[in-house]
């Protein structure tokens, strides 16, 4: 057997600038799976990259994104997590949890049968995953061993939720699409093309059978033969092939695999409760017993009967050598196992393909041709008399039966697949679809459409709320299906409450069916304190559904403005600061012996707060006042003093002792006409 390639054209690529594509893990009919590395979060992931022929289909790309978003919301310990989905050129991909280990298919191929305990524990884990998915409205549609991952640390995880529906839509005519799942398909999928939660339970029942027995319940020359058996035959009890299986587990398998959906468990939770009961009540010796097939019972439990039986050694007379390859082996190859790695093995992160330690084709064929002996009360089997048909007759009879089954199955399949005018049509699941998608889906099934609109608080506008007849109903071709399309929630006009006080505004909004929420309050020059300045709605909508929130901003009154002290500052600076704060400024000028010219001598008010538009008065310095020195020479002391003081000057008298009062000023320190600062000193001298 050639080694599986570990690279592909995608290996080494960087998707969306984030995901580095590593070694090839598996390749299936619809996608290839690689190990990958998320460079943004520095973690290992599994990358499922859909094949290019799917990526060119815009409808598939859109559905792929929608399904990925739905599955990404499904967070459960037994579900392979979907981290991201994206597009990079002609590649569309999923970034998923990387599960180190293998698939249930690997284990069955390697081990054959599982113990009853192991089989029930795997089944219970899958039922937990299905229960969570079904509650979220997600049906898997492709439960099979390839999609059940067994991690190295003993975890059970279910992969590929939602992808079966996508692939079925994009490639319903592809050869591998039905063949890959026909061994586990439920009767209603074959006959009516419809599946629901109970279809998942049927498929899981078949998987449980295979874990217990080591082979699938039905085999055939072609997929149509297997599908025919699913529709027309009851799944046999596992104990007919594996005598160690207790009756309670038999009942669980046949219950899940009832041909009529209404006869199966009503939900995954109900089936899970039965699994837990069995694990609790079946003795450990039975749960952990080494698996037995009918062949092993025959050779190990009844050796003393061999001599009395006419044992037919097919190998001696050449029957096996001349008979075509084992039916089970050919069925396995028809199901696509010849190509390494099915899609379901992708997230496991381990190479796929037939396990070299597993049974070969001849072994599988021998098991399928064996007829188990009937039970007797002590658990043994009755011997077959020596008389009986020869090996050649047995083989010819089997070939004839298979030919009849093939003919009948093919005819039945064609009837189901090509119903003519007047044939039955199944109403598909339309809830959550866009109107255009729903109309296209119905048209593809030769069904008409009637559209009605309805308000909905939970379904986004443009999506389907419901359909009548309901999904799964069987109706005649060209029958119209009434689709109820959501127009979103019913909306109502939002009243204007600006200018109203809080109590009045609250009452007005509540009467209209809305809820008032207070935003950050703000100052207002014209709206009184406590009244509504403005209101807003999500998206500035003028109408909202009942219960919508209207946010109002309440006034805090006029904004108080602190008055800064401008004394000593320059005129331009002081005026700009006050006006920038929203205040008016008035000015006057005055002489100052201490404040430089152009600086503020005083202001009114100083400090405190004002409101926008209020006035602040400033007194600006003109500098020192100058006066003219008068002529006082020749004047008496009294006359000179009076003249100088009248001019605003200070007087100092210099005279010798004993100078008479009538003496005249002989000199003055400042020349007549000199300009001095008011208050300056002038000295006069008397003889």
pLDDT in tens, 338-349: 333 333 333 433
| pLDDT above 60 (res 319) | no
Query: Do both 319 and 463 map to the same domain?
Result: no
Q: Let me know: does 113 contact 214? Beta carbons within 8 Å.
A: yes
Structure-token pair, residue 611:
């409101």
| pLDDT above 50 (res 170) | no
CATH number of the domain to which 222 belongs: 1.10.510.10
Structure-token pair, residue 149:
């991952």
Query: Do both 467 and 513 map to the same domain?
Result: no
Distance of CA 271 to the CA centre of its chain: 28
- Which H/E stretch holds residue 212? helix 197-213
419 found inside a domain = no
Q: What per-residue confidence (pLDDT) applies to 90?
A: 85
79 found inside a domain = no
Biggest CA pair distance of the chain: 182
47 found inside a domain = no
Q: What per-residue confidence (pLDDT) applies to 114?
A: 97
**For range 240-249, the mean pLDDT:** 94
Contacts (Cβ under 8 Å, ≥6 apart) of 83: 38, 45, 72, 95, 96, 97
49 found inside a domain = no
597 found inside a domain = yes
| pLDDT above 70 (res 38) | yes
**Domain that includes residue 606, residue range:** 560-623
Residue after which a domain boundary falls, among 525, 554, 583: 554
Residue with tokens 């299905």: 130
Q: Let me know: does 352 contact 196? Beta carbons within 8 Å.
A: no
Q: 136 versus 157: which is more confidently predicted?
A: 157
Residue 426: which pLDDT band, with cuts at 50, 70 and 90? Answer: confident
Residue 6: which pLDDT band, with cuts at 50, 70 and 90? Answer: confident
| pLDDT above 90 (res 238) | yes
Q: From CA 45, how far away is CA 339, in angstroms rounded?
A: 23
Burial classification of residue 685, based on how many CB atoms lie within 10 Å of its CB (0-12 exposed, 13-18 middle, 19 or more buried): middle
168 found inside a domain = yes
Residue after which a domain boundary falls, among 471, 486, 501: 486
Query: Do both 359 and 305 map to the same domain?
Result: yes
Q: Let me know: does 623 contact 590? Beta carbons within 8 Å.
A: no
pLDDT tens digit sequence for 477-488: 889 999 999 998
pLDDT tens digit sequence for 323-364: 233 333 333 333 333 333 333 333 433 333 333 333 333 232
Look over the chain and give the mean of its residue pLDDT values, rounded to a whole number: 80
Query: Do both 630 and 619 map to the same domain?
Result: no
Q: 472 versus 279: which is more confidently predicted?
A: 279
**For range 440-449, the mean pLDDT:** 89
Query: Do both 115 and 207 map to the same domain?
Result: yes
Q: What per-residue confidence (pLDDT) applies to 321?
A: 28
**For range 514-535, the mean pLDDT:** 95
Query: Do both 322 and 207 map to the same domain?
Result: yes
Catalytic residues: 142
Query: Do both 224 and 271 map to the same domain?
Result: yes
| pLDDT above 70 (res 443) | yes
Q: Let me know: does 670 contact 676? Beta carbons within 8 Å.
A: yes
39 found inside a domain = no
Q: From CA 521, how far away is CA 524, in angstroms rounded?
A: 10
Query: Do both 589 and 538 map to the same domain?
Result: no
Total domains in the fold of the chain: 5
CATH number of the domain to which 617 belongs: 3.30.10.20
In whole angstroms, how far apart are CA 333 and each of 105, 217, 221, 368, 580?
14, 16, 10, 15, 86
Query: Do both 162 and 187 map to the same domain?
Result: yes
CA proximity to 493, closest of 460, 438, 537, 448: 537
Q: Let me know: does 244 contact 282? Beta carbons within 8 Å.
A: no
Query: Do both 633 and 599 map to the same domain?
Result: no
Q: From CA 415, how far away is CA 17, in angstroms rounded?
A: 50
| pLDDT above 80 (res 505) | yes
Find the range with the poorest average confidence among 45-59, 371-385, 416-430, 664-678: 371-385
**For range 79-92, the mean pLDDT:** 90
Residue after which a domain boundary falls, among 455, 486, 517: 486
Angle at which helix 391-417 crosses helix 223-232, to 10 degrees, equals 80
Query: Do both 272 and 199 map to the same domain?
Result: yes
Structure-token pair, residue 29:
């009919």
Query: Do both 473 and 496 map to the same domain?
Result: no
41 found inside a domain = no
Find the range with the poorest average confidence among 65-74, 311-320, 370-379: 311-320
What's the predicted TM-score (pTM) here? Answer: 0.47
**For range 557-562, the mean pLDDT:** 93
Q: From CA 379, how far away is CA 382, in angstroms rounded?
A: 10
Q: What per-residue confidence (pLDDT) applies to 401?
A: 57
Contacts (Cβ under 8 Å, ≥6 apart) of 415: none
Q: What per-residue confidence (pLDDT) applies to 473?
A: 83
In degrees, rounded to 5, the angle at the alpha carbon of residue 92 between the alpha carbons of residues 87 and 93 is: 105
Alpha-helical runs (H) found in 214-298: 223-232, 247-256, 268-281, 284-287, 294-296
Q: 72 versus 610: which is more confidently predicted?
A: 610
């Amino acid at each position: 057997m050639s080694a599986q390639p570990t690279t592909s054209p995608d290996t080494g690529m960087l998707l969306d600038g984030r995901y580095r594509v590593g070694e090839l893990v598996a390749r299936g009919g619809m996608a290839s799976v690689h190990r990958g590395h998320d460079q943004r979060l520095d973690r290992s992931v599994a990358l499922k990259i859909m094949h290019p022929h799917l990526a060119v289909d815009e409808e598939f790309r859109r559905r792929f994104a929608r399904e990925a978003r739905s599955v990404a919301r499904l967070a459960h310990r037994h579900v392979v997590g979907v981290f991201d989905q994206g597009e990079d050129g002609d590649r569309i991909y999923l970034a998923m949890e990387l599960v180190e280990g293998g698939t249930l298919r690997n284990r069955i191929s390697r081990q054959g049968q599982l113990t009853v305990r192991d089989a029930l524990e795997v089944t219970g884990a899958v039922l937990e995953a299905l229960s969570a998915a079904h509650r979220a409205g997600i049906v898997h549609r492709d439960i099979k061993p390839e999609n059940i991952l067994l991690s190295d640390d003993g975890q059970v995880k279910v992969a590929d939720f939602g992808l079966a529906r996508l692939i079925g839509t994009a490639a319903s005519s592809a050869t591998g699409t039905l063949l890959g799942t026909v061994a586990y398909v439920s009767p209603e999928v074959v006959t009516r093309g419809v599946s629901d939660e109970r279809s998942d339970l049927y498929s899981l029942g078949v998987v449980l059978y295979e874990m217990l027995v080591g082979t699938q319940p039905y085999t055939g020359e072609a997929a149509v033969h297997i599908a025919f058996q699913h529709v027309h035959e009851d799944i046999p009890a596992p104990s007919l092939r594996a005598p160690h299986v207790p009756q309670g587990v038999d009942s669980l398998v046949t219950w899940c695999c009832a041909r009529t959906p209404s006869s199966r468990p009503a939900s995954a939770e109900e089936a899970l409760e039965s699994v837990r009961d069995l694990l609790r009540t079946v003795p450990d010796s039975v749960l952990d017993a080494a698996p037995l097939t009918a062949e092993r019972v025959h050779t190990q439990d009844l050796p003393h009967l061999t001599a009395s039986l006419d044992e037919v050694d097919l190998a001696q007379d050449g029957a096996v050598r001349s008979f075509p390859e084992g039916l089970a082996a050919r069925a396995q190859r028809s199901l696509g196992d010849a190509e390494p790695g099915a899609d379901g093995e992708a997230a496991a992160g381990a190479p796929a393909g037939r396990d070299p330690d597993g049974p070969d084709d001849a072994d599988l064929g021998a098991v399928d041709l064996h007829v188990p002996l009937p039970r007797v009360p002590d658990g043994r089997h009755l011997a077959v008399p020596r008389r009986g048909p020869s090996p050649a007759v047995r083989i010819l009879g089997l070939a004839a039966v298979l030919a009849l089954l093939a003919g009948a199955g093919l005819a039945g399949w064609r009837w189901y697949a090509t119903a003519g005018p007047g044939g039955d049509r199944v109403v598909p699941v339309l809830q959550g679809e866009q109107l255009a998608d729903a109309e296209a889906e119905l048209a593809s099934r030769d069904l008409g459409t009637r559209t009605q609109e309805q308000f909905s608080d939970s379904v986004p506008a443009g999506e389907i709320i419901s359909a009548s007849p309901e999904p799964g109903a069987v109706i005649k071709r060209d029958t119209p299906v009434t689709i109820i399309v959501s127009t979103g929630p019913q909306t109502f006009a939002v009243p204007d409450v600006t200018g109203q006080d809080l109590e009045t505004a609250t009452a007005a909004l509540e009467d209209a069916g809305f809820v008032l929420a207070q935003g950050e309050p703000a100052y207002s020059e014209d709206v009184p304190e406590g009244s509504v300045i403005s209101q807003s709605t999500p998206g500035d909508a003028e109408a909202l559904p009942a219960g919508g929130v209207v946010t109002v901003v309440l006034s805090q009154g006029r904004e108080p403005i602190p008055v800064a002290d401008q004394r000593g500052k320059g005129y331009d600076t002081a005026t700009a600061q006050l006006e920038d704060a929203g205040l008016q400024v008035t000015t006057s000028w005055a002489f100052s012996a201490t404040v430089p010219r152009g600086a503020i001598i005083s202001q009114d008010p100083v400090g405190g707060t004002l409101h926008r538009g209020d006035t602040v008065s400033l007194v600006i310095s003109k500098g020192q006042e100058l006066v003219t020195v008068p002529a006082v020479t020749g004047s008496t002391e009294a006359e000179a003093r009076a003249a100088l003081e009248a001019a605003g000057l200070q007087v100092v008298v210099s005279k010798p002792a004993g100078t008479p009062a009538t003496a005249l000023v002989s000199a003055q320190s400042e020349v007549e006409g000199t300009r001095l600062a008011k208050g300056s000193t002038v000295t006069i001298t008397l003889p």
